[in-house]
């Protein structure tokens, strides 16, 4: 138990350092390549910070723990939409990229609805996993076509060379992945000590733990007023989690044993997706009070999960 607590603390330390390096490097990469920070946030940062989700889900499915594999994705996406976006909006109101909001809404809502369907049918067959990967490729093509290099930073650009920025960003991703792995190990050890069910561990401990890179990268971006990177990171991560993580995992290890989920887990995810885009579209930004509402909604959901696990 003591060792698990140490792992949690060390993991958080690595995540803080990784988030700082990744944001600093990605800002420079976006400007050197003439791409918008929204695009860099949705691809390089979003996919990079989602590596723990991929490792956790793939590893869980390989071990026959299908519920943890799916729970990790559902939990991580819910954390991204409610907790991370909520906390970041509390720090600094989150502006939304006007030119891509419709595209983002379509694919993120589709990802959330697919999670709801997987929970409802209780399985992810090989053919469905293949469809998820095809959708992911389609999203990537549309993403680069729609990018116009807009929605830039509100602060001055950090003076770094392209190679240095790339190395810093990769190093940041490595720290985030390592930190998340150590954090998950410690948190799972604590949860197992209290006999928490697999599905709940996946949605809460593993889901929140693998979202820690997104949390720290987005918070660092918010403190630097890099809205495009913070928002794009969350969008890109959610899309990558469902279409790439579940797609690749399902092709290799079909998810057939998905007991322990409630249909409400999927409904909460879909509702969080809808609320996020309603808030983002009203005044093209998510205000502090809206961020507070999203954060409170996640805390309420977390309390319900704990009650569900103990009854």
Tens of pLDDT, residues 42-51: 666 666 666 7
Q: Could you give the 3-state DSSP secondary structure of residue 287?
A: coil
Rounded to whole angstroms, the Cα distance separating 141 from 43 reads: 12
Question: SS3 of 125, please?
Answer: coil
Structure tokens at 185: 């190990």
Averaged pLDDT score across all residues of the chain: 79
Q: What is the model's pTM?
A: 0.75
Q: Distance from first CA to last CA of the chain, Å, rounded?
A: 24
Is residue 38 within 8 Å of residue 144, measured between CB atoms?
no
Q: Given 3.40.390.10, 1.20.1420.30, 3.40.50.970, 1.50.40.10, which CATH number is that of 41-150+196-309?
A: 1.20.1420.30
Query: For 175-224, how does the pLDDT look when each residue is reduced to its tens digit (9 = 90+)?
Result: 877 876 777 677 667 767 767 665 666 666 666 666 766 677 777 777 77
Domain ranges of the chain: 41-150+196-309
Percent of the chain with pLDDT strictly greater than 70:
74
Closest by alpha carbon to 29, among 229, 158, 155, 166?
166
DSSP 31-92: HHHT--HHHHIIIIIHHHHTHHHHHHHHHHHHTT-HHHHHHHHHHHHHIIIIIIHHHHHHHS
Alpha-carbon gap, residue 271 to 268, rounded angstroms? 5
């Amino acid at each position: 138990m003591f060792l698990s607590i140490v792992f949690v603390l060390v993991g958080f330390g690595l995540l803080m350092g990784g988030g700082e390096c990744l944001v600093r490097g990605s800002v420079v990469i976006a400007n050197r390549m003439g791409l918008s920070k929204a695009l860099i946030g949705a691809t390089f940062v979003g996919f990079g910070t989602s590596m723990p989700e991929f490792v956790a889900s793939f590893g869980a499915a390989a071990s026959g723990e299908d519920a943890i594999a799916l729970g990790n994705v559902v939990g991580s996406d819910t954390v991204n939409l409610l907790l991370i976006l909520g906390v970041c909006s509390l720090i600094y109101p989150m502006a939304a990229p006007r030119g891509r909001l419709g595209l983002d809404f379509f694919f993120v809502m589709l990802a959330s609805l697919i999670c709801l369907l997987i929970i409802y049918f209780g399985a992810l067959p090989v053919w469905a996993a293949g469809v998820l990967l095809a959708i992911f490729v389609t999203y990537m093509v549309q993403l680069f076509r729609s990018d116009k290099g807009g929605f830039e930073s509100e602060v001055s650009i950090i003076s770094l060379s392209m190679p240095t920025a790339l190395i810093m960003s990769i190093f940041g991703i490595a720290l985030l992945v390592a930190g998340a792995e150590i954090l998950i190990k410690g948190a799972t050890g604590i949860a197992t000590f209290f006999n928490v069910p697999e599905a709940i561990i996946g949605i809460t401990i593993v889901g929140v733990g693998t979202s820690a890179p997104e949390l720290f990268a987005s918070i660092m971006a918010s403190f630097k007023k890099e809205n495009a990177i913070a928002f794009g990171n969350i969008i890109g991560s959610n899309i990558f989690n469902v279409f790439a993580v579940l797609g690749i995992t399902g092709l290799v290890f079909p998810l057939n044993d998905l007991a322990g989920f409630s249909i409400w887990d999927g409904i909460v995810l879909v509702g969080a997706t809808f609320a996020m885009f309603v808030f983002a579209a009203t005044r093209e930004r998510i205000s502090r009070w809206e961020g507070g509402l999203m954060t409170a909604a996640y805390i309420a959901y977390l309390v319900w999960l704990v009650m569900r696990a103990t009854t």
